[in-house]
Structure 1
Amino acid sequence: MESRSPFRVTAAAFVAAGLLITGCSSGGSSSGSSDEGAGSATGSGSVSVDQAALKKFYGQKIKWRACGVSGFQCATMKAPLDYAEPDGKQIDLAVSRKKATGPGKRLGSLLVNPGGPGGSAIGYLQGYAAIGYPAPVRAQYDMAAIDPRGVARSEPVECLSGTEMDAYTQVDQTPDDQAEIARLTGAFKKFAAGCEKRSGEILPHVSTVETARDMDIFRAVLGDEKLSYVGASYGTFLGATYAELFPERTGRLVLDGAMDPSLPARDLNRDQTAGFETAFQSFARDCVKQSDCPFGTKSPAEVATRMNAFFKGLDAEPVPTGETRQLGESLATTGVIAAMYDESAWPQLREALAQAMDGDGTALLGLADSYYERDGDGSYQNLMFANSAVNCLDLPPAFSGPGEVTQDLPSFEKASPVFGRNLAWASLNCAYWPTKATGSPHRIEAKGAAPIVVVGTTRDPATPYKWARSLAEQLSSGTLLTYNGDGHTAYGRGSDCIDTAINTYLLEGTPPTPAKKCS
């Protein structure tokens, strides 16, 4: 029952990252410039910052230690909890790196972020980026990551117990009457109250602007004059925000699976709903070509019709899963959505759907659990808690109450006949958030920044392609790189054309030719 944020990280990325994080290394402080930490953003969420008070953070020397598998180092970095009061309470942020392997000239550090919000950048670094990025990139860059404030090892936001989260994820997200609407809004309110009770101090200070400022401190601590960065999904918003705040310190930025910062939450959620429909239609076209398609091989339209009937049946009568939880419509929808992020999951989805239609919801429940980051012992990683905390702080809520959702249901159902109703109601969660949003939608131009590469996938479910086009157009130095294909994000997913273009940019500083397209 998460907000289905456009910033949700790909399930495939987290399978690669493993989310089991340890790891670390050593670096010095940057001399920095006289206006270190000031930033130049005039956009949403910017605050007046006392430059002199920030010098102690930019000049800190952190103690690296070996951690995780061979070659990784970890440390803890200090930052102000509230940048408006840098002499006040401080926050501890987990950081990690792996030194460049050589040969070739060292190009500095390359920060990575897999998205979310709520995704562990350190988990992604140690589980995938520092071992899976192309060898020439790893040879010349120190691969580095910082877990954003409120995430994983950086004073994580906590909201519900495992048992409470189990109940939360099973609440009906397609309410049919006032009683079901009351249960859904009650669940949203309980989730928000749990976050305030367990993490009230940090909740007002997990915005993307604050995390971007943390990244600039980390850049200085690493000794880099400029920030080089690869951000995926929500990580593109984080990277664009950094470029807006610190255009003169922006190095080589790759924003893969881009989001559009100019859109309000309702438009973002409706656009993403359409994105999942595009991905589902691609799945349906593939499904009818497969002998094991559980919905037959007649037509993609038949697949959609029978999927809706399947969801409706689960709404009336959930199926067993071999444990106390049953597979109802909400968990089933989450499981299907999880498989939309990567076409390699489609065979698994076909099998899970066939089993569920035969009365065994175990496999489809497993897909939902992977999306929610539910562990085998019934506990949950903090991804979904941080996801809501950041989203609800970055933008005013999509809806103020159930009445607005009801009025706008037709537009969501038009965007996706399969997922529209579910995703419209899921967009209500921030209406009950205890902390008022500090951000607002606005264009990001980042005037003065070096060339920035924006990557868009034509059938991306979570960050629709039109968002990449929009962000590339907004950025004064943006260049759009297009992948004509399925799945969420493009770099490192099998396209030699995409990988070569990005590698050339990271290693040589030469962006792709304008409007370059790959398949």
Structure 2
Amino acid sequence: MMRAPRKTALTLCVATALLATACTSRGGPPLESDDGSSEATGTVEPPPDAPPLEPLPAEIPAELQPYYEQELSWSDCGGGYECGTLTVPLDYANPGGGDIDLRVTRSAATNPDQRIGALLMNPGGPGASAVDFTQSSAEYIFPSEVLARYDMAAIDPRGTGGSQPVECLDGPAMDEYTLTDRTPDDEAEEEQLLAAFDEFATACAENSGEDLLSHISTIETARDMDVFRAVLGDDQLHYLGFSYGTKLGAVYAGLYPQNVGRLVLDAAVDPRLPTLYTDREQSGGFETAFRSFAEDCTSSFPDCPLGSEGADDASNRLSAFFEQVDAEPLPTGEDRQLTESLATTGVANALYAEFLWPDLRQALSAAINDGDGAGLLSLADDYNERGPDGSYGSSNFAFPAISCLDSPAGNADVAELETTIGSFEDASPTFGRDFAWATLLCAAWPVEPTGEPVSIAAEGAADILVVGTLRDPATPYAWAEGLADQLSSGILLSYDGDGHGAYGGNSPCVDSAVNRYLLENISPEDGTTCS
């Protein structure tokens, strides 16, 4: 799946494997033939029932007590924040087998007399640094009333940020990786793509070690969060998670329902869905988001580079442009050319937030009309976290490492891919093939998955506020509906809008409802829709 662009401060899930980040969208039910059987074009059956996530015992085991009772040494790290190191077991099943140190941060509530507790934040990914996100974004996301009553806090999930981050390819190798054709047209290109997946996975094992790669699952990170809650001195966990962060928050609620405080899960992920379904549905989500952009572009801007005939014609024009770039990459004013894979990444990146639509119009106009790929390359680099010096952010590596550990690969090999690729193209004529081939990255992964899709009820938990955006590209609205429905105390708040994530300035209505929940512990009516 894909992350959110860095400009938006949110990080999400998308299935484009060479982008090394992850999430999904609603591609519709599988098509059926007249006799009710699945068509041979590659449709998939409805997902199987997911087993329930069972809560852990409320009593902390004796071997874990030292972790829960540790005292952190805090030091000033700027901007009103303190930073420290939280020590947790590498393997909760074997607490004596070694530890891992995690970077944590906190800032004090500005009105400590009215303090509710610490409010943990996670921007998603998986793979983004929650510490960096919190320190840079909390004061812009929350109103002063929330900052007055909560300590802002965060923990970098294991394998990310300052918590022993996963390492894979160096900058030049990543440049080559992101250039690889993700929609192969012949056997030679297929072999090149599979070799790129193998090289990436092998580098992650060699540079990170299989011990780390085997113990960075969402369940393990959720258990780390409970240790952090106790160390901070809170009886309940208060939490705001975006995108993949909603999965992390939901897993926490499933494991520790008795410790749930005020949880906000925005741009929700449905943990019941297998990888194949999330990847396919996410491709549909990007299709929906592109069509929303295309309708706006073709109806409101006479110089729209995708014409003036509506979304269908715009989609055909964009596909033709991708084919043209596949055959002949565009110059960008630097050593790297704009290939089809980078062009697709650039377009997808701009669909994460409506405020990026003008950038996308300008970049497409330069590319289509003037043969200049610099604008789309810049959008792709932003998504890929490629710096001016050619280095890449570590979330490119943590994303697949966590995703592939959490759930088995969507397709095991090319033969299996060929039976499902049609359903991806049905879900998204524009992005479907790209997403389908991306499913094979986890098939090359060097460690076996330890997780599986689960259903989370969190029986006995306090109200959990689930927020979904109707035209979210990376986490389809249907996922928010699904998560709120399976949680025994889930409350669904919907935003009739575009972009990835709703809280934090996109809708005064959403902001008001979330702030009231955080400050007064009063939930909106289930099913409320904001515009």
TM (norm. structure 2) is: 0.90
Amino acid at match of 2:350: A
Amino acid at match of 2:321: F
Helix, strand or coil: the match of 2:95?
coil
After TM superposition, list the pairs within 5 Å mapping 1:53-72 onto structure 2: 53-69=63-79, 71-72=80-81
Query: Partner residue of 2:439?
Result: 427
| Contact map agreement 2:52 2:454 (CA 8 A) in 1 | no
Helix, strand or coil: the match of 2:519?
helix
> What's the offset of the Cα at 1:360?
1.4
| Contact map agreement 2:141 2:505 (CA 8 A) in 1 | no
> What's the offset of the Cα at 1:302?
1.4
Amino acid at match of 1:14: A
Query: Is 1:311 aligned to residue 306 of structure 2?
Result: no
Give me the whole-angstrom Cα distance separating, in 2, the residues matched to 1:315 and 1:75: 48
| Contact map agreement 2:52 2:456 (CA 8 A) in 1 | no
Give me the whole-angstrom Cα distance separating, in 2, the residues matched to 1:487 and 1:443: 26
Amino acid at match of 2:477: Y
> What's the offset of the Cα at 1:363?
1.3
> What's the offset of the Cα at 1:52?
0.9
Structure 1 stretches lacking a partner, 5+ long: 17-40
Give me the whole-angstrom Cα distance separating, in 2, the residues matched to 1:463 and 1:342: 13
Structure 2 stretches lacking a partner, 5+ long: 12-50
Helix, strand or coil: the match of 2:96?
coil
Aligned residues: 489
| Contact map agreement 2:55 2:257 (CA 8 A) in 1 | no
Give me the whole-angstrom Cα distance separating, in 2, the residues matched to 1:341 and 1:46: 36
Give me the whole-angstrom Cα distance separating, in 2, the residues matched to 1:279 and 1:61: 47
Query: Partner residue of 1:27?
Result: none
Query: Partner residue of 1:109?
Result: 118
Query: Partner residue of 1:137?
Result: 146
> What's the offset of the Cα at 1:9?
3.7
> What's the offset of the Cα at 1:50?
8.0
* Residue range with higher mean Cα deviation, 98-107 or 76-85: 98-107
Give me the whole-angstrom Cα distance separating, in 1, the residues matched to 2:445 and 2:430: 28
- Identify which of 373, 379, 385 aligns with 2:385: 373
> Using a 3 Å threshold, how does the CA distance of structure 1 residues 133 and 442 change in structure 2: closer, same or farther?
same
TM (norm. structure 1) is: 0.92
Deviations, residues 44-67 of structure 1 (Å, cap 9, x unaligned):
898999811111110000011111
| Contact map agreement 2:326 2:339 (CA 8 A) in 1 | yes
Amino acid at match of 2:179: Q
* Residue range with higher mean Cα deviation, 142-151 or 486-495: 486-495
Deviations, residues 142-168 of structure 1 (Å, cap 9, x unaligned):
000001000011000001011111100
Report percent identity of matched pairs.
Answer: 54
Give me the whole-angstrom Cα distance separating, in 2, the residues matched to 1:474 and 1:10: 29
Query: Is 1:410 aligned to residue 422 of structure 2?
Result: yes
> What's the offset of the Cα at 1:493?
3.0
Query: Partner residue of 1:188?
Result: 197
Give me the whole-angstrom Cα distance separating, in 2, the residues matched to 1:394 and 1:344: 32
Deviations, residues 196-217 of structure 1 (Å, cap 9, x unaligned):
0011220000000000000001
> Using a 3 Å threshold, how does the CA distance of structure 1 residues 85 and 323 change in structure 2: closer, same or farther?
same
Query: Is 1:293 aligned to residue 292 of structure 2?
Result: no
Query: Is 1:86 aligned to residue 91 of structure 2?
Result: no
Deviations, residues 409-452 of structure 1 (Å, cap 9, x unaligned):
21111101111111111121101101111111121101111110
Deviations, residues 58-86 of structure 1 (Å, cap 9, x unaligned):
000001111132x1111111011111111
- Identify which of 73, 81, 89 aligns with 2:82: 73
> What's the offset of the Cα at 1:131?
4.3
Query: Partner residue of 1:38?
Result: none
> Using a 3 Å threshold, how does the CA distance of structure 1 residues 50 and 491 change in structure 2: closer, same or farther?
closer
Query: Is 1:336 aligned to residue 347 of structure 2?
Result: yes
- Identify which of 209, 213, 225 aligns with 2:223: 213
Deviations, residues 176-229 of structure 1 (Å, cap 9, x unaligned):
111111000100010000000011220000000000000001101111000000
Query: Partner residue of 1:22?
Result: none
After TM superposition, list the pairs within 5 Å mapping 1:10-25 onto structure 2: 10-14=5-9
Amino acid at match of 2:266: D
Helix, strand or coil: the match of 1:91?
strand
* Residue range with higher mean Cα deviation, 101-110 or 447-456: 101-110
Query: Partner residue of 1:491?
Result: 503
* Residue range with higher mean Cα deviation, 232-241 or 368-377: 368-377
> Using a 3 Å threshold, how does the CA distance of structure 1 residues 15 and 265 change in structure 2: closer, same or farther?
closer
After TM superposition, list the pairs within 5 Å mapping 1:96-245 onto structure 2: 96-102=105-111, 105-200=114-209, 201-245=211-255
Give me the whole-angstrom Cα distance separating, in 1, the residues matched to 2:305 and 2:85: 50
> Using a 3 Å threshold, how does the CA distance of structure 1 residues 490 and 153 change in structure 2: closer, same or farther?
same
| Contact map agreement 2:55 2:254 (CA 8 A) in 1 | no
> What's the offset of the Cα at 1:103?
7.1
> What's the offset of the Cα at 1:384?
1.1
> Using a 3 Å threshold, how does the CA distance of structure 1 residues 307 and 438 change in structure 2: closer, same or farther?
same
Query: Which of the pair has the greater relative contact order for Cα pairs under 8 Å at 6+ separation?
Result: 2
Give me the whole-angstrom Cα distance separating, in 1, the residues matched to 2:464 and 2:213: 31
Query: Is 1:463 aligned to residue 475 of structure 2?
Result: yes
> Using a 3 Å threshold, how does the CA distance of structure 1 residues 146 and 298 change in structure 2: closer, same or farther?
same
> Using a 3 Å threshold, how does the CA distance of structure 1 residues 87 and 384 change in structure 2: closer, same or farther?
same
Give me the whole-angstrom Cα distance separating, in 2, the residues matched to 1:472 and 1:10: 26
> What's the offset of the Cα at 1:11?
3.6
